[in-house]
Amino acid sequence: MKPTGTDPRILSLAAEVAKSPEQNVPIILLKLKEIINNTPLGSSELKKIKQDIYCYDLIQYCLLVLSQDCSRIQGGWTTISQLTQILSHCCVGLEPGEDAEEFYNELLPSAAENFLILGRRLQTYFINAAKGEEKDELLHFFQVVSDSLFWLLGGHAQLIQNVLQSDHFLHLLQTDSVQIGSTVMTTLQNILQLKSGDLLRIEGKILHSILDEIVFKLLSTPSPAIRSTATKLLLLMAESHQEILILLRLSACYKGLRRLLNKQEPGTEFSQELRQLIDLLSPKGYQEVEEQTLHQAACLIQAYWKGFQTRKRLKKLPSAVITLQRSFRAKQAKLLLNRNRQKEEKECRLQLQLQRQRAMRLSRELRLNMLEIVHPGQVEKHNQELEDKSALIIQKYWRGYRERKKFHQRRLSLMEHKAAVILQRATLKFLEKCRKKKKTFVLWQGLPELTDARRIELKKQVDDYIGIHPSTQMSDVTSRELHSQAQERLQHYFMGRALEERAHQHREALMAQINTNIEQLMKAPNLKEADEKEPELFLSRSRPVATKAKQAHLTTLKHIQAPWWKKLGEEAEDEIAVPKDELSVELETLFIGGTKSP
């Protein structure tokens, strides 16, 4: 879609390109230079003209012309060099709009590649040229193409990596011509000053080739200009990237580089840069660089760690604020509750004091009324009776308090005594079982010594038994079989007896636990005397028992709350269906039993 408000000069130029023959197109495209030069730099009008040039495919025409053979183009290298300037100026500062992907991914890489190809062609013509004037002219055109490439890279830094990885750029760098080599190395230096980070993004093989060529030109080229540019370039690369400095210092390919650099002439113009490079490659300089690298790495790790900790604290900040607010509100609620409780207690004390005062006034009024009614001769007797009655009431309350206190003390001592008895009984039973086990597995100790008379008596009994029960002949195999059967039966007997003893112990433990629970339930205090810690003693650790207790409790509540007409023909012990949702609550607070309140 063509933009509205297009510059009439671009329209006429595009129409002329479309109508003219192919050989006249390069000369027509040179008119773009005049249009661009007559427009102020950095103005919105210049941006609009560049967009119109791109929209009418004039930039694509320039690329097509640059890809052709220079012998077929009218004006030769002069026209081509001017077209490279036009193309680089049109691409820098251009906003492609909807065709941004095609512009950045296809057109710009193609333009950079065409510039490098033109440089290769100029390099070939320059080497084959015989006349000095022709060489100067070709060198001028090469310089224009290099400047156009650098201008394009300055506006689109993403193309630097593509240029450095190009085989054409490596061939340009490896030239034997002093003028071409100096121009290429100067362009490389300007590119690295523009954006040196892309140097480490290229392939390692290409990076090594570039370093090898720069070191070769520094050590073997007699031209001071190339050696100066190579030294500055190596110094820039080593100072910008620690990896390259480590490679120059430790790699076997560059072993002895520092020794060879020391042999260079000290009186040259680039002796200061050369001395800086030698100092960087020295062990002391390398150690400083390594320490600086470690310091930077430590700072980077600390920065990442502090950032992680800060982000972590910021993530926890809302929950921390919520927790702080919750605790503050809980504390305020607790303080308010304590104040209300103290206020209620104070009011209760005041009410009790008022009640006592009223009771005292009432009693005194009654006594005065009684004194008015009673005969004067009976007043002393009446007062004596009141005193005796009051003394009896005081003695009754005091004795009741004293006996209840003694009862509680005796009750605790009785519970401790019974607990000690239970523990002693269980311990004695356990020790008795251990003694029985030891007796069961005691090895046979042999028979006590027999007297001569006892031996004669036993021998006579054996002979009588053998005479009554003569033995039958039995083979060794049968004897071994009988022996093995007897051993198996004996082993089976002992194993069964051990299992029976374990089952008996388990039953006794269960019975002891049941008896303990029964005793605790029987001794449980009523609800009025129960403390906060006493209900915890009746918590059940068994989920089935707790579930059954909960079910029984809910059944009783359902039966009590049911109307009377539903209880006709039913008993309280009948189970009522309880929903599973009510039984699926937390069971840690269920009791295994309880006492009835008085």
52-103 pLDDT per residue, tens: 777 777 777 777 777 777 667 766 777 777 777 777 777 877 777 777 777 7
How far is C-alpha 248 from the chain's CA centre?
40
Higher pLDDT among residues 281 and 416, named by residue: 416
Q: What is the pLDDT of residues 334-370, one digit of tens each?
A: 999 999 999 999 999 999 999 999 998 988 888 778 7
Mean pLDDT for the stretch of residues 238-258: 60
pLDDT class for 575, splitting at 50, 70, 90?
A: low
Helix (H) or strand (E) holding 15: helix 8-19
Look at residue 423 in the predicted model and tell me its pLDDT: 92
Higher pLDDT among residues 431 and 246, named by residue: 431
Which amino acid, one-letter code, is at 309?
Answer: Q
User: Tokens 């060794």 sit at which residue?
Assistant: 476
Q: What is the pLDDT of residues 274-286, one digit of tens each?
A: 666 666 666 555 5
Q: What is the pLDDT of residues 424-455, one digit of tens each?
A: 999 999 999 988 888 765 555 555 677 888 88
Higher pLDDT among residues 333 and 116, named by residue: 333
Closest to 182 in 3D by CA, of 132, 149, 143: 143
Look at residue 365 in the predicted model and tell me its pLDDT: 86
Strands of 269-309 (E only): list them. none
Q: Which residues pair with 591 in a beta bridge?
A: 539
Q: Which residues pair with 539 in a beta bridge?
A: 591
Return d(Cα 165, Cα 188) in angstroms, integer: 12
Return d(Cα 292, Cα 307) in angstroms, integer: 22
Higher pLDDT among residues 463 and 565, named by residue: 463
Of the chain, the percentage scoring pLDDT greater than 70 comes to 75
Q: What are phi and psi of 567, to 5 degrees?
A: -90, -5
Closest to 293 in 3D by CA, of 359, 350, 246, 356: 246
Look at residue 246 in the predicted model and tell me its pLDDT: 63
Look at residue 556 in the predicted model and tell me its pLDDT: 85
Return d(Cα 46, Cα 89) in angstroms, integer: 11
Closest to 219 in 3D by CA, of 249, 190, 254: 254
Look at residue 595 in the predicted model and tell me its pLDDT: 36
Mean pLDDT for the stretch of residues 221-225: 70
Q: What is the pLDDT of residues 486-531, one digit of tens each?
A: 888 888 888 888 888 889 998 998 898 888 878 877 877 776 777 7
Token pair, residue 545, equals: 């028992």
pLDDT score of 21 more than 70? yes
Token pair, residue 336, equals: 């308010």
Q: Are 244 and 238 in contact (CB under 8 A)?
A: yes
Largest CA distance in the chain: 168
Let me know how many helices (H) and strands (E) the chain has, helices first.
Answer: 23, 0
User: Tokens 């809980």 sit at which residue?
Assistant: 330
Q: What are phi and psi of 156, to 5 degrees?
A: -135, 85
Return d(Cα 525, Cα 408) in angstroms, integer: 11
pLDDT score of 301 more than 80? yes
Mean pLDDT for the stretch of residues 534-554: 75
